[in-house]
């Protein structure tokens, strides 16, 4: 929770790299979320200025909402709607090993996703090394959640640019 909105307990939820979704419709479908170790039913979720405005049953005052600022909002994994083939929630792919499709070499692990207007950018880290990959079909060639990997085909010259 990043703040409150109004006097009736609406909460502002700011997306971050570990966020499963910033889609208010998905949050509403979850039906309930956990905040600070306690479960709340979702009364309403909408978008406002790049954040989600979340109304929870039992939180009807600004004071009660302010008590939740800084807490993480979590949804039960089994409640998330199934996505279309080839789409993933961030929590499903963060942490997966990233493998070069050309030679099978481990490039690192997906540690962060940066949302940009054009496309997401995958931040792959191996030790102190960091590789930025555009999350487009030409670069991200495969994701297998069951086996737990992401295969990539970096643009020509990109790996050499990051080599020491």
pLDDT higher at 57 or 162: 57
Model confidence at 163: pLDDT above 70:
no
Tell me what pLDDT residue 78 has.
Answer: 83
| Planar angle of CA 102, 92, 1, nearest 5 degrees | 135
Provide the CATH topology of domain 90-162: SH3 type barrels. (2.30.30)
83 contacts 89 by C-beta, under 8 angstroms: yes
For CATH 2.30.30.240, list the domain ranges present in the chain.
90-162
Tell me what pLDDT residue 17 has.
Answer: 46
For CATH 2.40.30.60, list the domain ranges present in the chain.
3-79
pLDDT tens-digit series, residues 128-161: 889 999 999 999 999 999 999 999 999 887 777 7
Residue 92, SS3?
helix
CA dihedral 36, 116, 136, 23 (to 10 degrees): 40
pLDDT tens-digit series, residues 8-34: 678 888 765 455 566 788 888 888 888
pLDDT higher at 111 or 73: 111
**Domain formed by 3-79, architecture:** Beta Barrel (2.40)
């Amino acid at each position: 929770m990043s703040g409150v909105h109004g006097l009736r307990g609406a909460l502002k939820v700011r997306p971050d790299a570990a966020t499963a979704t910033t889609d208010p419709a998905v949050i509403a479908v979850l039906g309930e979320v956990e905040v600070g170790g306690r479960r709340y039913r979702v009364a309403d979720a909408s978008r406002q200025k790049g954040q989600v405005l979340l109304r929870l049953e039992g939180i009807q005052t600004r004071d009660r909402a302010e008590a939740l600022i800084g807490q993480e909002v979590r949804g039960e994994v089994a409640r998330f709607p199934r996505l279309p083939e080839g789409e993933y929630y961030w929590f499903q792919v963060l942490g997966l090993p990233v493998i070069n499709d050309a030679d099978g070499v481990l490039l690192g692990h997906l540690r962060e996703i940066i949302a940009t207007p054009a496309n997401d950018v995958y931040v792959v880290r191996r030790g102190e090394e960091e590789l930025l990959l555009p999350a487009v079909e030409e670069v991200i060639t495969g994701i297998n959640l069951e086996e737990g990997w992401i295969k990539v085909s970096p643009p020509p010259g990109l790996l050499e640019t990051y080599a020491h």
